[in-house]
Amino acid sequence: MLAPAMDLDMYQHPAVRANLAQVASIGNIVLDAETGELASGLSGQGRMMEPEHILDRVIDFFNSKKEFLGKKVLITLGPTQEALDPVRFLSNHSSGKMGFALAQAFQAAGAEVVVVAGPVALKLEGHGFQVQRVTTATEMYAAAKALHGQMDILVFAAAVADFRPENPASQKIKKQGESLPLQLVPNVDIAFELGKMKREGQIHVGFALETEQEEAHAKAKLVRKNFDLVVLNSATEEGVGFKHDTNQVRIFHKNVEDIQTALLPKLDIARLIVEEVKKAAAWS
């Protein structure tokens, strides 16, 4: 384990980021610097992690039972982008943070993780899991479908655009007239299609992002998309869902008791989801 400490600009310097990524890519765990007052008088990320936080992480590491050793997990994350023309697209606010936290949590539990990521700013590479970057829902489906057969667990954390422009323009659309009618066509529902191919013993975890009748919609998705559990997060509550570093979820199972979490950092939510997957899995 490595816990670096340095000044703000130095910590964000591309050379330092690349070196830390290299250290992580060969199997080390990098404990990120904390944010606060720095020796220079500046304030920002660069403080060495507090010794008690380092101790917590070391204890967590040795206590984690690696119960997913030998298991392969595919995680879709981030948004998709659907082109209107060469310079514009339809998309949504997903940052990929929830999916990234899940990748870290499953990996810490011993799983081999593959991530199929829509366009996100996060640095996903260099954390020891495989990353496939895609842009559109069609590309995300092709990548996930090709991997589906080898996986034990699939987690659909991506916010896939449900529609795409029917005929994206080959040149930049010029401003003409008062309105621009757009004809949209439905995208493939990745979770639904792969749900039809789910084999005995495979676990599918869905997410539901809702603005109203949240429980009813989440439970309907659990059944329709053949999920074993669905993680409901609200699109309207403070600190929950898109972009935040925190989340608060309800988890509805097919076969096990449902749970509700507090508002927690996404990594803690991810660890709880890993626990729930363990309960749902026949092999656990």
Query: From the CA atom positions of the chain, what is the Rg in Å?
Result: 20
Question: Could you give the string, one character per residue 58-77, with x where binding to ligand PMT holds by CB under 6 A and - elsewhere?
Answer: ------------------x-
The crossing angle, in degrees rounded to 10, of helices 266-280 and 97-108 is 60
| Residue whose token pair is 């323009």 | 169
Task: Considering the complex, state which of residue 38 and residue 277 has its C-beta at the smaller distance from ligand PMT.
Answer: 277
Question: Could you give the string, one character per residue 79-118, with x where binding to ligand PMT holds by CB under 6 A and - elsewhere?
Answer: ---------------xxxxx--------------------
Tokens describing residue 233: 């997060």
49 binds ligand PMT (CB under 6 A): no
Q: Are 65 and 214 spatial neighbours (Cβ–Cβ below 8 Å)?
A: no
**The one among 191, 203, 274, 280 contacting ligand PMT by CB under 6 A:** 191
- What does the alpha-carbon distance between residue 53 and residue 280 come to, in Å, rounded to a whole number? 31
What is the smallest separation between the CB atom of 264 and ligand PMT, expressed in angstroms?
Answer: 13
- Which distant-in-sequence residues (6+ apart) come within 8 Å of 175 by Cβ? none
195 binds ligand PMT (CB under 6 A): no
Count of residues in contact with ligand PMT, rule CB under 6 A: 27
Pairing of strands 163-165, 88-90: unpaired
> What type of residue sits at position 278?
K
**The one among 4, 24, 163, 242 contacting ligand PMT by CB under 6 A:** 242
- Which distant-in-sequence residues (6+ apart) come within 8 Å of 53 by Cβ? 31, 34
Would you tell me how many other CB atoms lie within 10 Å of the CB of residue 229? 23
Would you tell me how many other CB atoms lie within 10 Å of the CB of residue 282? 8
**The one among 156, 222, 234, 252 contacting ligand PMT by CB under 6 A:** 156
Tokens describing residue 5: 């400490």
92 is catalytic: yes
- Alpha carbon of 181 to those of 72, 94, 164, 165, 214: distances in Å? 44, 26, 13, 11, 31
List the beta bridge partners of residue 80.
none
189 binds ligand PMT (CB under 6 A): yes
- What does the alpha-carbon distance between residue 234 and residue 212 come to, in Å, rounded to a whole number? 9
Tokens describing residue 37: 């007052």
Task: Considering the complex, state which of residue 3 and residue 209 has its C-beta at the smaller distance from ligand PMT.
Answer: 209
Task: Considering the complex, state which of residue 3 and residue 77 has its C-beta at the smaller distance from ligand PMT.
Answer: 77
Task: Considering the complex, state which of residue 94 and residue 111 has its C-beta at the smaller distance from ligand PMT.
Answer: 94
Site residues for ligand PMT, 198-217, by CB under 6 A, read 206-209
**The one among 6, 20, 160, 274 contacting ligand PMT by CB under 6 A:** 160
Stretch binding ligand PMT (CB under 6 A), from 44-52, 59-67, 105-113, 154-162: 154-162
Catalytically annotated residue among 19, 92, 167, 247 = 92
Which residues are catalytic, by number? 92
- Under the rule (CB under 6 A), what is the footprint of ligand PMT? 76, 94-98, 137, 156-160, 162, 187, 189-191, 206-209, 221, 225, 233, 241-243
